[in-house]
Amino acid sequence: MREYILATASTADLSPEYMKEHNIPFIPYTFTIGDKVFVDDCTEETKAMIYREMRNGKSVGTSAITEYAYYEFFKNLMATGKDVIYVDMSRAISSSIQHAEMAARRVQKEFGDQRFYFLDSFCITGGLNLFFKQLVRRHEEGLSYDELIEWGEAHKREYIHRFIVDDLQWLRRGGRLSNASAIIGTMLSIKPEIYVTNEGKLISFSTKHGRKKVIHAMVDSMKDDLADYSADEEITVMHTDTPKDVEWLIELIRETYPQLKDAEITVTTLGPTIAAHIGPGFMAVVYHGTQRIM
């Protein structure tokens, strides 16, 4: 059985230490502040910098990865002589994914005696993080190339993402909310709860007046898709520069769901690519649950 490589992008929000330990190649996204271009290296220092700049009112831009950049990345992976499985965030979220697919078709033609599989995770950030770690674990346990793809395709929509955003103006700047809606929502202190659907799209499915109310609502809604096995895998709480709220959120989760009292709940900071469109004050809880409810 030929060896194979698992690879991903910086938007999986995996730590550099994890990727080094497990030999995970990743392709980085870039972002801009003013006229300066930065590379998302997945470090906490880079994340802290972008949070600081956003809180100071700086606009942050992001760019799609080009087909050529994907092609060079994929070609180098295939040049090892190994098969490749590349896992990225939902195509419904990023236009980069179309470029990745075009580059994948090119390397498949050039390396006809090797296999290359593009796995659309239908996840983003923390969901992609947890899903990818499970793929890595099974890869290291010895699952074959075909077995891992089969497992991934069967289970990718079981990773649940529940988000809240603090300031609707960031969604407006990213073109994901009208200007009028953002202004009215900010004035009324409306906080949306966002869910990733079976199609990998972001939808706002409930709103509350005030941050504490929407955090409580987010935790309460977990009952709709928690599974018996959710406590057996890592759960991650994500944020952009809100460490005190994270501590409270974790306590609230454990108090609300006794079955998660001893679960492994980790804290993950949001990377620049997604943070640029959401802004400071973002929080999320992500876990392996049942089939998504939407």
The verdict on 88 and 230 lying in the same domain is: no
Distances (CA, A) of 214 to 116, 218, 275, 281: 42, 6, 19, 13
Separation of alpha carbons 29 and 50, rounded Å: 14
Out of 157, 177, 201, pick the residue that ends a domain.
Answer: 157
* Sequence letter at residue 30: T
The verdict on 11 and 133 lying in the same domain is: yes
In a domain, 202, yes or no: yes
The residue segments making up the domain with residue 58 are 4-157
In a domain, 219, yes or no: yes
The verdict on 93 and 188 lying in the same domain is: no
Q: What is the pLDDT of residue 190?
A: 62
Helices and strands: H and E segment counts in the chain: 11, 13
Low-confidence ranges of the chain (pLDDT < 70): 1, 167-190, 205, 209
The verdict on 113 and 168 lying in the same domain is: no
Handedness of CA 285, 286, 287, 292 (dihedral sign): positive
Q: What is the pLDDT of residue 28?
A: 95
In a domain, 180, yes or no: yes
In a domain, 118, yes or no: yes
Domain count, the chain: 2
